[in-house]
């Protein structure tokens, strides 16, 4: 059985045709949903890229893995999807990037070049084509065709000026299909596409696919904003354009990027079918979402769910087809699900739960009633942006966590502040509630969630020969060489 894990960087959950978007066309992702299961209330655990992916790859919440920013190292003791695939007998390969910083304790001395980048490769993967922020292999390919020399930013920003067949997404698909032609036996492939990540410039004809006038208007900011919302607006790359025409053009380009990368996912899956690979598990998701002008913001940050609600589509041989799951699911659920699909024990560190019951057409017992995600913003204070925060603010308090239930969103800030949104009355996240009878149970639910997932993968195990028989059957203890 083959496994294909596709990540589409910065893709919002609502920007799929099958999700009811009135403008965006995603025929290939829609077709995948029809032959599998779409998880309609799925959430990333953190933003930006490295934190979001750390949760996806390790099955752990940010409060456990502590990858709090692009540049935070991922500790070497964490298990991950690639190592899991190895234990199942695969040789997992990467096309694209994983953005996981090296654990400094494993570095080859202080001059190890991997210490100079957060765009490292997740341990366990062989990077057949590594496309980090420099996009070097693609940029070199363009230069060979007479486009260049270009930097990655220049190449991405000028995608509308070249045929779509030369896009960054098409290049990645081409390399995967070329490699696939050389393979015999089952494969485990991680196809990590950059798009629809900025710059907001769709490839070729997709740049004109959508009329900006048809692309809708963002959710306007509330009249009364939390201080962190005001702070986020200070970050140049995160403040949405104030010119309506510029904002409409940005949305049109974002939608165009989605449709273009949807076409590439279609090519990828057609390639597997053409190769006679019919037994394929396909997982399509994102690392985080995109504000897209909502609340006056673009990119990914803060507490609004546009930055965290993402797609998850899973099609597995013999599984349910055309099913839409409305229960809350999270990125940390992917690792346990892949473990069960591959017949492996669920790693003991996993904070998520397997989605197999949903994939088989059933319902799991005692499923969660809310989703959770976190955002750590210390890098805004200590990093390149240098925004103005309170002078006495400690870096370890520059964080927040969100408890998102069906009716409310409770946000707890690291400095003790909080805010609660009444989503039943106003799903746009602009109506707050302060009634203690409403807020207290939500705050208690968040505290219970945090206490249930405190760090330490072996808290459910007690050593001793007489106790081993009582270890949870679903948990595995990785072998150490």
* pLDDT tens, residue by residue, 392-413: 567 888 999 999 999 999 999 9
May I ask the CATH architecture of the domain 2-375?
3-Layer(aba) Sandwich (3.40)
Whole-number Cα distances in Å, 369 to 52, 150, 320, 359, 412: 21, 49, 23, 19, 18
Q: Above 60 in pLDDT, residue 360? A: yes
**What's residue 88's pLDDT?**
98
Q: Taking the alpha carbons of 83, 84, 87, 89 in that order, is the dihedral positive or negative?
A: negative
Helix (H) or strand (E) holding 375: strand 371-376
Lowest pLDDT segment from 32-41, 143-152, 267-276, 458-467: 458-467
Q: What is the DSSP string of 122-186?
A: PTT-EEEEE--TT-HHHHHHHHHTT--S--HHHHHHTGGGS-GGGSHHHHHHHHHHHHHTT--S-
Q: Above 50 in pLDDT, residue 391? A: no
Mean pLDDT over the full length of the chain: 93
| pLDDT tens digits, one per residue of 265-291 | 999 999 999 999 999 999 999 999 999
Neighbouring CB atoms inside 10 A of 432's CB total 16
Q: Report residue 231's pLDDT band, with 50, 70 and 90 as the boundaries.
A: confident
| pLDDT tens digits, one per residue of 282-340 | 999 999 999 999 999 999 999 999 999 999 999 999 999 999 999 999 999 999 999 99
Half-sphere exposure of 459 (CA within 13 A, CB side): 10
Catalytic residues: 49
**Percent of the chain whose predicted confidence (pLDDT) is above 90:** 83
> Across the strands, what pairs with 129?
95
| pLDDT tens digits, one per residue of 29-74 | 999 999 999 999 999 999 999 999 999 999 999 999 999 999 899 9
| pLDDT tens digits, one per residue of 255-265 | 999 999 999 99
**What's residue 50's pLDDT?**
97
Tokens 């965290």 belong to residue? 308
Neighbouring CB atoms inside 10 A of 271's CB total 17
Please state the pTM of the whole predicted model. 0.94
**What's residue 454's pLDDT?**
81
What does the pLDDT average to over 109-138? Answer: 94
End-to-end CA distance of the chain: 28
Q: Report residue 419's pLDDT band, with 50, 70 and 90 as the boundaries.
A: very high
Q: Where are the domains of the chain?
A: 2-375
Neighbouring CB atoms inside 10 A of 108's CB total 10
**What's residue 15's pLDDT?**
98
Contacts of 394 (CB under 8 A, 6+ apart): none
Q: Above 60 in pLDDT, residue 480? A: no
| pLDDT tens digits, one per residue of 70-118 | 989 999 999 999 999 999 999 999 999 999 999 999 999 989 998 899 9
Q: Above 90 in pLDDT, residue 172? A: yes
Q: Above 90 in pLDDT, residue 382? A: no
Classified as helix, coil or strand, 37 is: strand
């Amino acid at each position: 059985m083959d496994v294909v894990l596709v990540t589409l960087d910065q893709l919002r959950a609502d920007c799929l045709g099958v999700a009811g978007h009135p403008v965006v066309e995603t025929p290939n992702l829609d077709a995948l949903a029809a032959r599998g299961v779409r998880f309609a209330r799925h959430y990333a655990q953190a933003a930006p890229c490295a934190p979001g992916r750390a949760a996806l790859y390790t099955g752990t919440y940010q409060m456990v893995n502590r990858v709090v920013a692009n540049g935070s190292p991922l500790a070497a003791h964490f298990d991950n999807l690639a190592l899991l695939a190895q234990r199942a007998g695969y040789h997992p390969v990467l096309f694209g990037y994983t953005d996981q910083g090296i654990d400094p304790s494993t570095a080859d001395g202080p001059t190890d070049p991997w210490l100079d980048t957060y765009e490292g490769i997740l341990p366990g993967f062989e990077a057949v084509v590594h496309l980090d922020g420099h996009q070097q292999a693609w940029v070199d390919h363009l230069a060979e065709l007479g486009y260049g020399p270009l930097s990655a930013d220049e190449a991405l920003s000028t995608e509308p000026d070249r045929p779509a067949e030369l896009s960054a997404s098409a290049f990645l698909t081409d390399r995967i299909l070329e490699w696939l032609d050389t393979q015999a036996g089952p494969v485990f492939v991680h196809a990590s596409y950059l798009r629809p990540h900025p710059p907001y410039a769709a490839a070729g004809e997709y740049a004109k696919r959508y009329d900006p006038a048809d692309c809708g208007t963002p959710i306007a900011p509330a009249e009364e904003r939390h201080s962190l919302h005001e702070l986020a607006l200070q970050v140049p790359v995160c403040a949405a354009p104030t010119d309506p025409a510029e904002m409409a053009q940005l949305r049109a380009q974002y939608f165009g990027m989605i449709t273009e990368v949807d076409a590439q996912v279609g090519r990828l899956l057609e390639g597997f079918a053409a190769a006679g690979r019919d037994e394929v598990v396909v997982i399509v998701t994102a690392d985080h979402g995109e504000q897209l002008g909502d609340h006056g913001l673009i990119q990914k940050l803060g507490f609004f769910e546009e930055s965290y609600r993402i797609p998850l589509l899973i099609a597995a041989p013999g599984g349910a087809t055309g099913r839409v799951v409305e229960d809350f699911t999270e990125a940390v659920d992917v690792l346990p699900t892949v473990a069960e699909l591959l017949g492996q024990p669920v790693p003991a560190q996993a904070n998520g739960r397997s989605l197999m019951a949903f994939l088989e057409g059933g319902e799991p017992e005692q499923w969660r009633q809310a989703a959770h995600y976190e955002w750590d913003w210390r890098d805004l204070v200590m990093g390149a942006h240098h925004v103005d925060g309170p002078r006495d603010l400690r870096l370890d308090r520059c964080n927040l966590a969100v408890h998102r239930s069906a009716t409310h969103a409770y946000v707890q800030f690291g400095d003790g502040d909080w805010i609660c949104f009444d989503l039943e009355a106003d799903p746009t996240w602009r109506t707050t509630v302060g009634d203690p009878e409403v807020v207290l149970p939500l705050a208690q639910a968040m505290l219970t969630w945090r206490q249930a997932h405190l760090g330490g993968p072996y808290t459910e195990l007690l050593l001793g020969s007489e106790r081993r028989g009582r270890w949870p059957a679903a948990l595995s203890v990785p072998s150490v060489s």
